């Protein structure tokens, strides 16, 4: 199961895992999500991460799950003084509470097969990024949840992936906020990060990759 698969990194992850996995793409219904599903012979599942109370019923039919990739997320470019409580609330609801709710609802299905949970985090989950106050806060919290899940569920594999900046629509918005000119060649491609995620998923079962950090070449 992959969240946020309608475009960008999520769509690239779907492409990377389609040859080896039967995919379920979870998210709000959209023509873009349907197109990705059709391309890879995947099914879709209506899940709204902003509505945590509805998540258990949305996934109750899933009884076994090998891999859960948490990719969906939102970002509101803003420094602390520019940010609003509503932006913080929305960011935390989607990036953290939604991910927690989905994981808890799917724990029995993951336990049934000794599954693997992959959290697409960010460099902002290690070092707070200027201009991304609420986003950075949510990614630190998501990293902590992943660490707790790994500690408390030893039968599962739990991996946090911390990419640097990726050439996506979200990145275009951030560059515009910074007053720069968007040049995708400066950033990681979604396909590169998807390959890193797929490599973690395909690692031998006796290995447990806790954390992966990947940056654009030439960047620290």
Domain 10-20+48-214 grouped into CATH 1.10.1040.10 = no
Q: If you ran DSSP here, which 8-state letter would residue 128 be given?
A: P
Grade residue 66 by pLDDT with cuts at 50, 70 and 90: very high
Give the residues across from 25 on adjacent strands: 2, 44
Q: What is the pLDDT of residue 18?
A: 98
Cα distances (angstroms) measured from residue 125 to each of 29, 51, 163, 182? 29, 23, 10, 23
Supply the angle between the helices 8-17 and 190-201 in degrees, to the nearest 10.
Answer: 40
Q: Which of 76, 119, 135, 187 is catalytic?
A: 135
Q: Which residue has the tokens 């500690």?
A: 151
Grade residue 179 by pLDDT with cuts at 50, 70 and 90: confident
Q: What is the mean pLDDT of residues 171-184?
A: 71
Grade residue 173 by pLDDT with cuts at 50, 70 and 90: low
Task: State pLDDT tens for residues 189-213.
Answer: 999 999 999 999 999 989 999 999 9
Give the residues across from 118 on adjacent strands: 69, 159
- Concerning whether 135 is annotated as a catalytic residue, the answer is yes
Q: Which residue has the tokens 């724990």?
A: 107
pTM: 0.93
Domain regions of the chain by residue span: 10-20+48-214
């Amino acid at each position: 199961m992959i969240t946020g698969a309608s475009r960008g990194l999520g769509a690239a992850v779907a492409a990377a895992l389609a040859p080896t996995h039967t995919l379920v793409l979870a998210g709000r219904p959209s023509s873009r999500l349907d197109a990705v599903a059709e391309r890879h012979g995947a099914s879709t599942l209506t899940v709204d991460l902003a509505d945590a109370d509805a998540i258990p019923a949305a996934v109750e039919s899933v009884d076994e799950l090998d891999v859960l990739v948490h990719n969906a997320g939102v970002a509101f470019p803003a420094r602390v003084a520019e940010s609003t409580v509503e932006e913080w609330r929305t960011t935390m609801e989607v990036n953290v509470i939604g991910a927690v709710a989905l994981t808890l609802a799917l724990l029995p299905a993951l336990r049934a097969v000794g599954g693997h949970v992959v959290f697409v985090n960010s460099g902002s989950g290690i070092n707070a990024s200027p201009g991304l106050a609420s986003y950075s806060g949510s990614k630190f919290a998501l990293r902590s949840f992943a660490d707790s899940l790994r500690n408390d569920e030893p039968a599962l594999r739990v991996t946090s992936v911390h990419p640097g900046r990726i050439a996506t629509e979200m990145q275009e918005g951030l560059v515009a906020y910074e007053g720069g000119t968007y040049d995708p060649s400066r950033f990681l491609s979604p396909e590169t990060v998807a390959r890193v995620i797929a490599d973690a998923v395909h690692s031998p079962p006796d290995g447990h990759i806790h954390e992966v950090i990947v940056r654009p070449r030439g960047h620290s």
